[in-house]
């Protein structure tokens, strides 16, 4: 089973959720979403890596400059996966979990660990949950009927759900600014070209934040509120970029890229020092961690694990991510430095667990 993809991703597992605290948000997606995703997205991974790039300014038009390659990414020395039962290593066991689940279309739920789940969003085709930093609200993406997918916001208990956008055609998941007054997201609107947009979380007019070639997506707001990290595929190179959410005309910065490969799901660490993302640089989906300037990229999950969509724990010491084995997708947790085995924390054969977001 595959997950919904952000712009520039392939039809397998794809992109990231911003760090927003200590609740874990999950999306469980079914076969109908898979079929749609496979129809809309591009080719799979390549085993032909190219040097990464770091710190090189990228013109607004989107072409990648020559630049000096960043240090060569290291191969993963991460331990192999552990099948220890979920109860042996629960994430934030004393905190609630929000997630989405369905056999055919995702909806959003919340539960206390070991308790009964509460459905927050009953309407299908709701996914991409992102918690506000004060834990009072959840932003998510919903498609109503045959209409375009729009950005929605609701209270943390599922009440007062309302659309923030109209005619947006939102792709992927949103991200909150640290102050909670803005949301960034990828959408096409009526231009036919997906770009990043910023909108007041209380409602108002959206502002276009990128004017680049390609299909930028999967934004994650930096803890200091000064930057957005996102993914894009330009001139055959799938890269991780930095943009200024307050200045759409400022040049973007390329942090990491591979030719004929796929990079997705960038997520800033709580202290702003590192960025986690998933990449096919080594030929299969792996979770990578690099410094915020693009230097010292390292794979922290083994190549044998189809790992994607990382999110940081509130203390920055652990990562949660999704892993697909055949038709089953579960959530795994491991130390952010890859020093211990990834542990399966969901192990639910009936529902695929997607899009984790720690609150």
Using DSSP's 3-state secondary structure scheme, residue 206 falls into coil
CA separation for the pair 163, 306 (Å, rounded): 34
CA separation for the pair 65, 85 (Å, rounded): 47
Side-chain-side CA neighbours of residue 5 (13 Å): 29
Query: Using one digit for the tens of pLDDT, what is the confidence trace for 125-160?
Result: 888 888 898 889 999 999 998 899 999 999 988 899
Q: Does domain 24-358 have CATH number 1.10.10.10?
A: no
Q: Which candidate, 154, 123, 129, 112, places its Cα nearest to that of 26?
A: 129
The proportion of the chain whose per-residue pLDDT surpasses 70, expressed as a percent, equals 67
Sheet strand arrangement including 237-243: 56-58, 252-259, 237-243, 228-234, 217-221
Enumerate the domain spans of the chain. 24-358
Pairing mode, strands 118-121 and 107-111: antiparallel
Higher pLDDT, 250 or 24: 250
Q: Which candidate, 308, 333, 346, places its Cα nearest to that of 44?
A: 308
pLDDT tier, 286 (very low <50, low <70, confident <90, very high otherwise):
very high
The predicted model scores a pTM of 0.76
What pLDDT, on the 0 to 100 scale, is given for residue 47?
Answer: 31
pLDDT tier, 68 (very low <50, low <70, confident <90, very high otherwise):
very low
What pLDDT, on the 0 to 100 scale, is given for residue 172?
Answer: 86
What pLDDT, on the 0 to 100 scale, is given for residue 333?
Answer: 85
């Amino acid at each position: 089973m595959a997950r919904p993809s952000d712009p520039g991703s392939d039809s397998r597992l794809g992109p990231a959720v911003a760090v927003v605290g200590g609740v874990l948000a999950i999306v469980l997606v079914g076969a109908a979403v898979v079929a749609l995703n496979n129809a809309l997205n591009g080719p799979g991974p390549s085993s032909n890596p190219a040097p990464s790039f770091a710190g090189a300014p990228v013109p607004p038009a989107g072409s990648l400059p020559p630049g000096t390659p960043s240090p060569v990414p290291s191969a993963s020395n991460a331990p192999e996966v552990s099948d220890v039962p979920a109860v042996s290593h629960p994430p934030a066991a004393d905190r609630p979990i929000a997630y989405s689940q369905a056999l055919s279309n995702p909806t959003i739920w919340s539960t206390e660990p070991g308790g009964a789940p509460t459905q927050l969003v009953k309407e299908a085709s709701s996914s991409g949950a992102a918690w506000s930093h004060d834990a009072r609200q959840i932003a998510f993406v919903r498609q109503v009927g045959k209409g375009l997918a729009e950005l929605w916001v609701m209270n943390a208990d599922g009440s007062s759900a309302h659309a923030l956008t109209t005619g947006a055609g939102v792709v992927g998941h949103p991200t909150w600014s640290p102050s909670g007054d803005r949301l960034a997201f990828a959408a096409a609107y009526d231009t036919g070209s997906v770009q990043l947009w910023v909108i007041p979380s209380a409602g108002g007019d959206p502002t276009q934040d990128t004017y680049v070639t390609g299909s930028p997506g999967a934004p994650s707001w930096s803890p200091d509120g000064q930057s957005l990290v996102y993914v894009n595929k330009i001139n055959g190179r799938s890269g991780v970029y930095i943009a200024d959410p307050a200045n759409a005309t400022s040049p973007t910065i390329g942090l990491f890229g591979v030719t004929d490969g796929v990079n997705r799901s960038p997520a800033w660490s709580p202290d702003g020092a590192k960025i986690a993302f998933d990449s096919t640089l080594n030929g299969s989906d792996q979770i990578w961690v690099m410094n915020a300037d693009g230097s010292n990229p390292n794979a922290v999950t083994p190549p044998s694990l189809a790992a994607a969509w990382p999110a940081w724990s509130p203390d920055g010491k652990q990562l949660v991510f999704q892993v697909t084995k055949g038709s089953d997708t579960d959530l795994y947790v491991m130390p952010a430095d890859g020093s211990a085995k990834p542990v399966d924390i969901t192990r639910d054969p009936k529902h695929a667990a997607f899009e984790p977001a720690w609150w």
